[in-house]
Chain A
């Protein structure tokens, strides 16, 4: 597999191509391969989402059509005097070989009854194979409006926002307090507490589904957003991340604040938290990602439609056998829009944040 590249003096093979740095002013095979890889990456990462976006504008007939087309086509129609509904337009090859644009009144077997919209009195009978539908590209929002009649988007959206927002605030508060305690105080049992918290990194909520569900039932949090928010608020990842960061904050800062008479609570909120901002930001990003996309636990706690989050609502919507693909597509796009929007604005901070602070 190792091939000598033109620019690579002594640098060969896949590894060579991957690790070599570019020489000034020369574009080697390696660079070409790099950009091909990246371009394929763009297509693979964004392509599926763009495909589903395009599909969501299609009519039910167009959605089931094979082979599918990229753009959403729709047959043109014409309003003809004497007919209530708009009639579909076709380009018809007439017997004399000329092509006319006619509207179809009805289809009987292999024969279609057509009329000329300009002179609607005369009915022209043509073979159905002699007509071609007149199509235009149209981004129709019908799937969205129809889907939202049974998919309660704004309600689900609001529930998801409440869960994500409250849970993230709670997660940041509770975990940063614990991290402050575990990094800046000396007391008996401190290391034991830290170890116990860390060890549950391996025991996620999905492993204790049944007993956790019992607990929620006994507290009475079924179909209550609190039942989704609270259980996951104390996360070992959060404690670990914040503790490691807070260890780098010098103790002298805290000691001098104590000498100045600041209470411990003020030291935590006004000295430690501002200094731990990068780590807090990363935990906030993680928390928003976890909570917004969470599915299994909300699905177990929430069984009534009005408390569904977006993910639970979408899954229930697609599980309904009455619902057609064109509507599912539109609602899937609606569900992915908010996070895509947020990502579009904040992508730089999200990726650099996780890369620089998240995994130390």
Chain B
């Protein structure tokens, strides 16, 4: 709440002076850096020409990007089709599609316990269920909150920040905070008992655990999507509503024919971002339930992590195969949504 308090005049002048000094020092360092780099860049420019500098500027990004993202994407295929517990590629025997076959070796695809890798099947079904419920709930609650914040309210900036605060908390902290509240002797059970109920094993019952994983991730991220949706709402010109009002449209009608269509592009951004994020759910659950009880809250990334890093015998091939499946589904999901946007734009 950075409301306009009037500070002591003396403090202002000291603060200004400090700011000035800092600014001057910062500029000096910056100028030194610019001059130093110009010493290298200037001859370079003479060598490659102005147009060639385009390549020079994009090069550092491409280097990091190529080495740490593109290259691993390719080597991931090598891991997928090789076996053994060795990390180094030249010591891994070729096994064909064995890893992928193992992941999908199921008698009945709807029953995880009939699968050879039943944990993977569970991780996939858990993730699918999580993604659907979490994204739906996230968009619903974020939209509702954005609509509330878009009304004429006092201290809108403050309330916007209130919902944003959990976004800044780390997933580990979020997981621990809620584990503490939902544990057997925690706050929520105390409230239940105080109102005459019985204790509930929120963390020991599989369905409750899944439910709370969804709730917690919505709690921790909704502020971000609310912010985006609110910005979308505020960019809708208000004279549209006035015109609709004059034409005798009621609020429901103007919501349906002005707010929703004009908010669609923003909604799509929110949908894509929240989907990509939901598919990758990991760290908050890792601290919250650790995948339990049993394998009730194990998700794909944790399956990859368990096989590639946590278990004593490293199954890099299996982990990479699961990564491949996940990357594939992410690409399909995103393309499907972009397609959706394409058809939307036509109408």
Chain A interfacial positions (CB closer than 8 Å to B): 10-13, 15-16, 18-22, 30, 34-35, 37-38, 41-42, 44-46, 48-49, 51-52, 55, 64-68, 173-175, 177-178, 180-182, 184-187, 190, 193, 196-197, 200-215, 217, 230-234, 239, 258, 263-266, 268-270, 289, 292-293, 295-296, 300, 310-311, 314-315, 318, 325, 328-329, 332, 335-336, 339-340, 343, 345, 347-348, 350-352, 354-356, 358-359
B336 to chain A: closest CB distance in Å?
12
Q: Is B120 an interface residue (CB 8 A)?
A: no
Subset of 19 A-B contacts with CB under 8 Å: A15-B255, A45-B162, A175-B61, A177-B61, A178-B58, A185-B57, A200-B69, A202-B327, A209-B309, A231-B69, A265-B41, A311-B171, A314-B176, A318-B287, A336-B169, A343-B168, A350-B164, A354-B228, A359-B266
A209: which B residues are within 8 A, CB to CB? 304-305, 308-309, 319, 323
A230 and B230 alpha carbons, distance in the complex (Å): 34
A180-B57 in contact (CB<8A): yes
Asked whether, in the complex, the Cβ of B301 is within 8 Å of the Cβ of A206, the reply is yes
> Chain B residue with minimal CB distance to A266?
B38
Chain B residues lying within 8 Å of A190, measured Cβ to Cβ, are 54
Which chain B residues (128-170) contact chain A, with CB distance < 8 Å? 144-145, 147-148, 151-153, 157, 159-170
Which residues does chain B contribute within 8 Å of A350, judged by CB atoms? 161, 164
Are the CB atoms of B252 and A12 closer together than 8 Å?
yes
Bound state CA distance, A21 and B254, in angstroms?
Answer: 13
Dominant SS among interface residues on chain A: helix
Interface contacts beyond A48-B178, A336-B169: sample of 6 additional A-B pairs, CB < 8 Å, sorted by A: A46-B162, A185-B54, A211-B71, A215-B68, A263-B42, A265-B53
Which B residues, 150 to 201, have Cβ-Cβ distances below 8 Å to chain A? Answer: 151-153, 157, 159-173, 176-178, 180-181, 185-187, 189-190, 193-194
Please state if A22 and B180 are interface contacts (CB–CB under 8 Å).
no
A355, B230: Cα distance in complex, Å: 8
Q: Which of A16, A34, A180 is most buried by chain B, counting CB atoms within 10 A of its CB?
A: A34
Most B-side CB within 10 Å, residue of A20, A48, A258: A48
- A236's nearest neighbour on chain B, judged by CB, is B65
Let me know if B75 is at the binding interface, CB within 8 A. Answer: yes
Interface membership of B9, Cβ < 8 A:
no
Instruction: Report B-chain residues with C-beta under 8 Å of the C-beta of A193.
Output: 58, 62
Q: Are A210 and B51 in contact (CB under 8 A)?
A: no
In this complex, the member of B87, B161, B320 whose beta carbon has the largest number of chain A beta carbons within 10 angstroms is B161
> In the assembled complex, which residues on chain A have CB atoms less than 8 Å from the CB atom of B70?
196, 200
Contacts of B193 in A (CB 8 A): 67
Given A174-B64, A193-B62, A231-B68, the answer on whether A55 and B180 have CB atoms closer than 8 Å is: yes
Minimum distance in angstroms from A271 CB to a CB of chain B: 12
Are A265's CB and B152's CB within 8 A? Answer: no
Mark the stretch among B107-115, B203-211, B276-284 that contacts chain A. Answer: B276-284
Interface check B89, CB cutoff 8 A:
yes
B287 engages A315 (CB within 8 Å): yes
User: For this complex, into which size category does the number of interface residues on chain B fall?
Assistant: 35 or more
Minimum Cβ distance to chain B for residue A36 (Å): 10
- Judging by beta carbons under 8 Å apart, are A210 and B316 in contact? yes
Q: Which of A35, A44, A173, A207 has the most CB of B within 10 A?
A: A207
CA distance A318 to B76 in the complex (A): 32
Q: Are A15 and B162 in contact (CB under 8 A)?
A: no
Residues of A with C-beta under 8 A to B145: 37, 41
Choose among A38, A318, A329, A356 the residue that contacts B231 (Cβ–Cβ < 8 A).
A356
Q: Does B243 contact A (CB under 8 A)?
A: no
| Chain A residues near B165 (CB-CB < 8 A) | 45-46, 49, 340, 343, 347
Least CB separation from B219: chain A residue: A44
Which one, B62, B252, B282, contacts A15 given CB within 8 A? B252
By the criterion CB–CB under 8 Å, are A202 and B331 in contact?
Answer: yes
Known: A19-B251, A332-B176. A300 touches B309 (CB 8 A): yes
Whole-angstrom CA separation of A293 from B170 in the bound complex = 5
B73 at the binding interface (Cβ < 8 Å): yes
State whether A38 and B68 are in contact (beta carbons under 8 Å apart), knowing that A178-B60, A209-B305 are contacts in the complex: no
Please give the distance in Å from A340's CB to the nearest CB on chain B. 8
Judging by beta carbons under 8 Å apart, are A339 and B168 in contact?
A: yes
Distance between Cα atoms of A347 and B162 in the complex (Å): 9
- Which residues of chain B are near A332, meaning CB under 8 Å? 173, 176-177, 180
Task: Look across to chain B and name the residue whose beta carbon is closest to the beta carbon of A268.
Answer: B57
The answer to whether A174 touches B219 (Cβ under 8 A) is no
Q: How far is the CB of B77 from chain A (nearest CB, A)?
A: 9
Residues of A within 8 A of B282 (CB): 206, 295-296
Residues of B within 8 A of A268 (CB): 57
**Residues of chain A lying within 8 A (CB to CB) of residue B51:** 185-187
CB distance from A219 to the nearest CB of B (A): 9
Give the distance to chain A from B239, nearest Cβ to Cβ, in Å: 13
Whether, in the assembled complex, B93 has its beta carbon less than 8 Å from a beta carbon of chain A, the answer is no
**Cα distance A212–B186 in the bound complex, in angstroms:** 40
Q: A209-B304, A355-B228 are in contact. Are A315 and B172 (CB under 8 A)?
A: yes
Let me know if A52 and B148 touch, CB within 8 A: no
Considering the complex, give the chain B residue whose CB is closest to the CB of A203: B327
CB of B330 closer than 8 Å to a CB of A? yes
